[in-house]
Structure 1
């Protein structure tokens, strides 16, 4: 990398929304795997009542198809993985299926958090096609993705997916559960928001965990930019378009929370009314996953 390229890289990195550190939760629970960039253990995250999330029980991730056999062996063995929740669409699962045959004894749950293909989030048709589709809209890619966050939480597909997800966690019998989408940012990220809020994690820490994706997906995003710009010779602005797909932003999070407040008044009400996860179920979840 030349000096100029390094300067540009550092400038771009400084422009990303960065998470504030969470006390007692180093590296945001990141697990260093060979093929998985954004897999994290929520264990150690503190809650408002002074407890912490139990380690090796709740894992968030991007899709598993790039995991090495050693990665999968660690997940199944070291974490006693009981279940995997996949928030992707059927098209995504068909294109890049989870390596179920290498994860013996793990139960897989398909809970698509979006109905059909949604621009800029699923990547079901490929990132290059997503960017071409963006070009047909007046709004920019960032605004389009931002506007989809309320859809994930409020539309029927998302409500059904996250309701089912919480019930799986509540019925768990001691093993770990991992949930994922494609990059582990949008649908899996909002899944983490839901679990953390149900467990009583302070909102500031929930936001920080959402933004922490930006610490771990950088090389993936830059590689995509290089590959498709070389192949398709796309116009200037490609960096910003791809950034919208791969990075977490405060305004994405804010738009989702504003939609919840506008429709339900509070996040607790959303859990109770939209996801059928009222105070009693939340207390049961805390008894199971906090220490």
Structure 2
């Protein structure tokens, strides 16, 4: 008989001084879009504002949201960590974002992406059924794969290259909810910029401040579609919240494999000290 999994604690982040609301941008259709500007980083400097944006998928952006991204942030690049299946189902509104370059860098294989609840409500049901005994553990095990797998390495290497080559406007990276693949993308960028491990961890957990409405909406939809799934709040939470042990599993995997995060940047992402110095010169003040 399968052992019942105890619900994990949803942890909220401690505040980061002078980084109000974790850079959250109150868009109309985008719940979890945040500006890294203001984060304390290397040598007492801070991340410059309006240049580094992390987000969930853009298909729910309103006309006003897109206008703000273009006018207020001079958006020049969008890095999409989703698979081709996810992009085809809910494509970014590129036709309304003239002049923006889109980069498709899937950070997970198509076989794994079901766990990220990106395909459809039907896929959410199938995924929940498939991992119903240990849903939290299934997502936790995915995190090392995102950072260490071939697809993830290529995706994050691509993101860092795009940032180095940026022409002065903002670059936005996203997955579906802005939690897993985009969240670890933020970890990579922040560590490359010299943000402290404590602040990187807090910024990862900050998704929990903005995820509740989405999680509750999916729970209601699932219960309506399949009554047998009523009462699976903890299971749905496992897919939508940023749990501390997800982050810890990813960091432990990096340490076990490379020793330090700097070594991971250098060896796995070809982003050694010279490139990190160039990135800091470009994005810190």
The bucket for the TM-score relative to the shorter chain is over 0.9
Q: How does 1:84-233 map to 2 (within 5 A)?
A: 84-118=78-112, 120-137=114-131, 139-233=133-227
For 1:269, the equivalent position in structure 2 comes to: 263
How far the C-alpha of 1:139 sits from its partner, in A, is 4.7
Structure 2 CA distance for aligned equivalents of residues 261 and 254 of structure 1: 10
Would you say 1:289 and 2:274 are equivalent positions? no
* 8 A Cα contact 1:181 1:187, kept in partner: yes
**Any stretches of 5+ residues in structure 1 without a counterpart?**
1-11
For 1:46, the equivalent position in structure 2 comes to: 40
How far the C-alpha of 1:81 sits from its partner, in A, is 0.3
Structure 2 CA distance for aligned equivalents of residues 187 and 30 of structure 1: 18
Structure 1 CA distance for aligned equivalents of residues 208 and 271 of structure 2: 30
For 1:71, the equivalent position in structure 2 comes to: 65
Structure 2 CA distance for aligned equivalents of residues 172 and 283 of structure 1: 15
How far the C-alpha of 1:15 sits from its partner, in A, is 4.6
Structure 2 CA distance for aligned equivalents of residues 248 and 121 of structure 1: 14
Aligned with 1:245: secondary structure?
Answer: helix
Q: How many residues align?
A: 279
Structure 2 CA distance for aligned equivalents of residues 126 and 242 of structure 1: 14
Aligned with 2:43: secondary structure?
Answer: coil
* TM-score for the superposition, normalised by structure 1: 0.92
Query: Compared with structure 1, are the counterparts of its residues 19 and 128 closer, same or farther at alpha carbon in structure 2 (3 Å cutoff)?
Result: farther
* 8 A Cα contact 1:43 1:53, kept in partner: yes
For 2:229, the equivalent position in structure 1 comes to: 235
Query: Compared with structure 1, are the counterparts of its residues 229 and 158 closer, same or farther at alpha carbon in structure 2 (3 Å cutoff)?
Result: same
Deviation digits for residues 136-155 of structure 1 (CA, Å, limit 9, x no counterpart): 34751100000000000001
Deviation digits for residues 231-287 of structure 1 (CA, Å, limit 9, x no counterpart): 211335411111011100000000000000000000000000000000000000000
Would you say 1:20 and 2:18 are equivalent positions? no
Structure 2 CA distance for aligned equivalents of residues 258 and 185 of structure 1: 18
RMSD: 1.6
Structure 2 CA distance for aligned equivalents of residues 255 and 181 of structure 1: 20
- List structure 1 segments (4+ residues) > 6 angstroms apart after TM superposition: none
Structure 1 CA distance for aligned equivalents of residues 132 and 209 of structure 2: 30
Structure 2 CA distance for aligned equivalents of residues 129 and 117 of structure 1: 12
For 1:37, the equivalent position in structure 2 comes to: 31
Query: Compared with structure 1, are the counterparts of its residues 138 and 229 closer, same or farther at alpha carbon in structure 2 (3 Å cutoff)?
Result: closer
How far the C-alpha of 1:115 sits from its partner, in A, is 1.5
Would you say 1:248 and 2:242 are equivalent positions? yes
Deviation digits for residues 152-187 of structure 1 (CA, Å, limit 9, x no counterpart): 000100001110110010111111000000000000
How far the C-alpha of 1:100 sits from its partner, in A, is 0.2
Structure 1 CA distance for aligned equivalents of residues 131 and 111 of structure 2: 16
* 8 A Cα contact 2:83 2:113, kept in partner: no
**Any stretches of 5+ residues in structure 2 without a counterpart?**
1-6
